[in-house]
Structure formats: structure tokens, C-alpha cells
A and B are shown apart, each in its own frame.
Chain A
Amino acid sequence: MSHSSQDNAIESGRLVRALIYTLLIFFVIYYLLPLWVMVANSLKTLDEIRGGDMLAPPKDITFEPWRQAWSKTQIGVEATGLKPYFLNSIIMVVPAVFLSTFLGALNGYVLTKWAFRGSNLIFGLMLLACFIPFQIVLIPMARILGMLNLAGTIGGLILVHTVYGLGFTTLFFRNYYAAFPTELVRAAQIDGASFFQVFWRILIPSSGPIIVVTIIWQFTNVWNDFLFGASFSSYDSTPITVALNNLVNSSTGVKEYNVHFAGAILAALPTLIVYIVSGRYFVRGLMAGAVKG
């Protein structure tokens, strides 16, 4: 994407270029504005926000809203801050991402290198599953989690995120392994490698990029999920997105905007860091999610 030699740029005058840069900078400001508002106001006192200019930098920087948001503010009935919910999200995300990525890799391997009669149909069904509106599964899933004694637990959320992540993880690995030379698999078979030996010794060592793409995709999706969290968690398994929404939209008490902003940044921080550190892989995931086949 960054080979400037391949740009379709067309010769243009200096005035036009100045205009282009002006527009680009305008949109940079547009996209950064909400982030600036959140950061600036999370460092202000409540009085300063109420009485002042939301776009202005803080006059006296205070970290109190951050402290409040992290460990003190009241969410629901308890004044615990977002900390326990942040931890809930981590406990939920790590196994869900790991499981769905691992299963996706195995599925992609089977669907490309061990295709059998009907495997294309299976893939089609898994692919279509990526696009269902999750509202359609909320009622039966709630019942099943109840029957499995997983209702309101982090384990239940891990299960939900794993199974509904499978479609995309399988898609990612299938498309990646479709381009992986089948001759390598055959060579390994002749060398006597078994199904799993081929997987671990031949495919996985060459899967670095797609593993990163899949993990980032799953991590972002699971961390940012709200619907499943809101539907299937109880107060000791609530993920951070739900807790943040409860904090911001609770009807009681004074609206502590600065705490809300600090909390929002806390909730966004993990995925933002991942994005900034490995944006290239994040974009590849987005593209793979948009262009199927």
C-alpha cells in the first residue's frame, strides 16, 4: 500500500497541491478532534468543563478523573472504578482470541489442504455465519448458557466469542493457506509427517503474518463487543464496554464528564495501542474482512 512508485498521482500545479494538503490537514483535525476532546477534558476539573471551552487544553492538569475512573467511581452499585471490569475483559479476551485463532488455523488447514467432498459447503456455511446479526442468536444463546451453567460467567462469554469468531478466523486462514504451496504438504507427507506434524512443522512456522492479523482482528472485536457483554454477563463478569456504558448513562448523581472521558480512553487504550503498534496487520484484517472469496 505504500509503494509511492505505484501511485496514480497525476501531475498537478502548486495551487492544487496546496489545496490537497489543506483538505488532508482539515480531515486530520476532524478525525483527531474527538480524541483530543476526550484527552483534554479527562485532565480538567468538572468546574472547568462546565464553565469552559471543551476544545481548550486544560488549565490546571489534574489526574484525579483518571484515578476516579480506574478505581473509585461508582458503577452500578459498587464504587470500584473500571479496574475490575478491565480485568474481566482481559480474562475474557485472551482465551477467546487464542481458541478461535487456533481453531480457525486448523479449519483453514483442513479446508485447503485436506478438502473433502462437502468441505466447500461447510466453508460456505461458516462464511455466511460471519454476517448474521447477533440479535438473532441472543435468545437461544441465553438459554443454552443457562443450561450449561455458564449464564453470567466469563466462561460463557469466552464460549460465545469463540464460536462466533470462528467464521472470520477460518476465513482468514483458509484464504492464507489457499496460497500456501500444496507441494510442501505433499513433500512432508512423503517424508512421513502426519496430519498434525504437517500442521505444526510446516504450516504454522510460515503462518506468522496471518496469525498476527487474526489475533488483532479477534482481539479488537472481542474487546470492543458490547452486545454479548450486555446480554450474557452478570455484575462480576461485566466487560469494560458495558461498564463504561453503565458509568456514562447512569441516571443517578452528577455527570462527571471528566471521569467519563478518562474511562472511555481506558476502554479504548488496549485496542488503540495494538492499532498503533501494528497498524499494518490491523488494516490487512479489515481488508480480509471486507473482501471475501
Chain B
Amino acid sequence: MASLTIDKLIKSFGAVEVLKGIDLEIEDGGFLVLVGPSGCGKSTLLNCIAGLEKTTSGEIRIGERNVEGLHPSKRDIAMVFQSYALYPNMTVRGNISFGMEIRGVDKAEQEKAIQEVADILQIGELLDRKPSQLSGGQRQRVAMGRALVRHPQVFLFDEPLSNLDAKLRVDMRTEIKRLHKRMGTTIVYVTHDQIEALTLATKIAVLEAGYLQQFGTPDEIYNDPNNMFVADFMGSPSMNLIDGTLVERDGALEVQIAGHGGSSISLPVPDGAEMRKHVGGPIVFGIRPEAMTDPDGADRTSPHIETRDCYIEVSQPAGSDTFALTPLGGKECIARFRADARIELGAFSPISFNMTKAVFFDPQTTGRIR
């Protein structure tokens, strides 16, 4: 087991720079999730760590060892692929033992290691089957078994659950988390699914267009996003990013937001030197749907709730909650009401804003105003 450090990593394909200087560090035993939209460079980063792509510049250290130029098999890593990449011509046993065979591990030891892994993943009865005879979930387990048997310093997962159906995906997610607890091995995990990122990670790295947008714990990423991209990308439904104007009234700051028709609401804004630079100008007010509720559903532990009347256009019952759509700042915003909250459509209803959860962004730079 070891920590993983990535230092000013740049990767280009020809003239195209795919990773534009990535700095990351995950402690020994950590679970790092690389998340971002497709094409953001997350898989390339993972392949660089694995040694499957050559880096253009920068450094990757596993433990204290710089792995630059090292063949993938010598980096002490194991990888689980999106397509599972099971060797179609070999049995499950053959798939798991192939690496050991190449390294010249003796037969008895191979068998012992296979049995051990088979026990952990409960694939004992599948050992003599071919990959084509396995279900998606079983293939997934075998792919993990092939990785586990190496006892690597770092596990690499490349979107391992994206080929599974929704239910199985949730099960496997739990299983991976349990496995991580049990083995305590460092994991780097690539996904485009932000729920997977939030549930699995100890640290999340959000990538976009080759840049590291934010690196932090799931809580930091979710509640304290660095910029509008991260705020928008993480969470489902995503954060409401509402255009408003910052004004000063009686020495206090507030944001004015256009509502339905000619109406508008204003909400108090925490004071600060940074914030004051934007007085009189546009500002983006970010608030998650669950921080916009019917007054009875508001978080009673929050010290700062503001309730305003907003025009409700549409409601979408979603079982456990009901989403209410209200026009704010020229966009449809989503508020999350209790399932049995009474909603009158086409009329103004009070909505409670939990202002401790509110964040503000500069619409020009899209960066956070703190």
C-alpha cells in the first residue's frame, strides 16, 4: 500500500494538450475518485498512472517511487477496465492467474491465491467457466478478482460500473466500498457518475477540459464548490445557479433576483471585502434544491432561513420528494419539497431558502466569491 502523488502532469497527443498540469495527492489507503464529463481527461490521467500512456512532462510517484518510464507491470498497480477486458479464450481461473503465470509464480501458490480471491468475491463456482458464459455482474467480479490477486499498492478502476444495469450498479458500488474497507488499499477510480463519486470517495478530483477544477473531500466538493462548473456538475438535480444583482441597502448586502412576471425577490448576502467588489453588478447565486423547501420542510437546525413567495409553475412528484419549478433570474429553478407538501400550481407559494448553504459566484470568471 502506498500513497500516490501527481505533480504538474502534462499529457499531449500531438499538438493537443489533454492534461494541462495536474497536481494531486492521495494518502495511503485513500479512495480517490476522478470525475468529470466525457473528454475531460480523466481516463487519460488514469492511463498515465497505469503507465499505459506516456506522460509528456511532470511526475507520478507511487509511494516514494517515481514511476516515470516504468512498464505498467512494474508499477505495482492493478486495473479494472470498463469493459472488464477479460481474456475471452481463458477460463476465469486462467484470467486470474495469467499475471502470476507471466511472473513465474509456482502452481501451488497460484492456486492458493486464486482460492483466496474466489472466496472474497464469491466466484468459486465460476472458476472453470469462460467469460462468455458469465453475466455482467459476474464478469465484473472476475475483473476485480484479477486485480485483487496482484495485491497491488494501488488499484485503478476505469468506469467499472458503467456497463451494468442500474440495480446491479448500486450493489457493486456497495461491494467496492466494502472491499476497500477490508483491504485498505489505495484506490484511484474514474467515473462520470457524480453519485458514484460522492458515495465512494475519500477525495474527489473534478476534471474538466484537462484542468483540475477542484480537489477535495466529497463534502467540500458538494457544499463548497470552487466554481460554477463544479457546482453544476456535482449533485442531482444540480445546483440552481441564479442570476441576480448585488445591491447594498442600509449598509447590508443583498441579492435581487427577478421572479415571475415583473416580481422580484431579494435575499440577504454575507458581507465581505471580496463581496463588496461586486456591489452594483451581476452575481450568480448558487443554492441546491434541497436548500429551497416548503417552509415546513426547512432544516430546523439551520440558523439562517429566509422565506420568500415564489411562483410555482410545475411540480414533479418523485416519490420521496416533490420537485417544484419556479422561475428565478430568468431560469427554471428547482426546489425540493416534502412529498406531501401541498403545492398550488400557477400561484405564489412561500419557499424557504437555507442561506447557510448558499454560495456566490462571479459570472465573469465563474469562480467563487468567498
Contacts and interface: CB of A to CB of B under 8 A. Distances in A.
Contacts of A197: 102
A184 B82 CA distance: 11
A263 B234 CA distance: 77
A202 B74 CA distance: 20
B107 interface: no
Contacts of A133: none
Nearest to B74: A192
A202 B99 contact: no
Given A184-B85, A184-B87, A201-B98, A190 B103 contact: no
B230 to A, nearest CB: 29
12 contacts: A186-B81, A187-B85, A189-B71, A189-B73, A190-B72, A190-B99, A191-B73, A191-B98, A191-B102, A192-B74, A193-B102, A202-B87
Contact of A190 (B50, B83, B86): B50
Contacts of A190: 50, 52, 72-73, 77-79, 99
A190 B71 CA distance: 8
B88 interface: yes
A205 interface: yes
A186 B102 contact: no
Nearest to A192: B73
> A-side binding surface: helix, strand, loop or mixed?
helix
A183 interface: yes
Contacts of A193: 73, 98, 102
A105 B65 CA distance: 38
B102 A189 contact: no
Given A192-B71, A192-B103, A201-B87, 14 more contacts: A183-B82, A183-B83, A186-B47, A187-B87, A189-B73, A190-B77, A190-B99, A191-B146, A193-B98, A201-B98, A202-B87, A202-B89, A205-B88, A206-B88
Best-surrounded residue of B81, B86, B103 (most CB of chain A within 10 A): B81
A189 B98 CA distance: 11
* Size bracket of the A interface: 10 to 19
Contacts of B103: 192
A131 to B, nearest CB: 30
Contacts of A188: 87, 98
B75 to A, nearest CB: 8
A118 interface: no
Contact of B83 (A181, A201, A205): A181
* Size bracket of the B interface: 20 to 34
Contacts of B102: 191-193, 197
A187 B98 CA distance: 10
Interface in A142-194: 181, 183-184, 186-193
A197 B99 CA distance: 11
Nearest to B94: A201
B89 A205 contact: yes
Nearest to A189: B72
A208 to B, nearest CB: 9
Contacts of B88: 184, 205-206
Interface string A34-47: 00000000000000
Interface string B60-96: 0000000000011110011101110111110000000
A206 B73 contact: no
A186 B72 CA distance: 9
Contacts of B71: 189, 192
Interface string B10-37: 0000000000000000000000000000
B289 to A, nearest CB: 37
Contacts of B47: 186
A187 B89 contact: no
A190 B98 CA distance: 11
Contacts of A187: 79, 81, 85-87, 146
B364 to A, nearest CB: 41
A186 B79 contact: yes
Nearest to A187: B85
A222 B348 CA distance: 84
Contacts of B77: 190
A186 B52 contact: yes
B85 A191 contact: no
Interface string A194-208: 000100011001100
B81 A183 contact: yes
Nearest to A181: B83
A181 B98 contact: no
B81 A191 contact: no
A183 B88 CA distance: 12
Contacts of B78: 190
Contacts of B87: 184, 187-188, 201-202
Contacts of B89: 202, 205-206
Contacts of B50: 186, 190
A205 B131 CA distance: 14
Nearest to B158: A183
Nearest to B147: A190
B53 to A, nearest CB: 10
A192 B52 contact: no
Contacts of B72: 186, 189-190
Interface string B29-58: 000000000000000000100101000000
A273 to B, nearest CB: 29
A220 B329 CA distance: 73
Contacts of B74: 192
Contacts of A192: 71, 73-74, 99, 102-103
A213 B87 CA distance: 23
Contacts of A181: 83, 85
B92 to A, nearest CB: 14
Nearest to A205: B89
A189 B89 CA distance: 17
Interface in A22-56: none
Contacts of B146: 187, 191
Best-surrounded residue of A183, A188, A190 (most CB of chain B within 10 A): A190
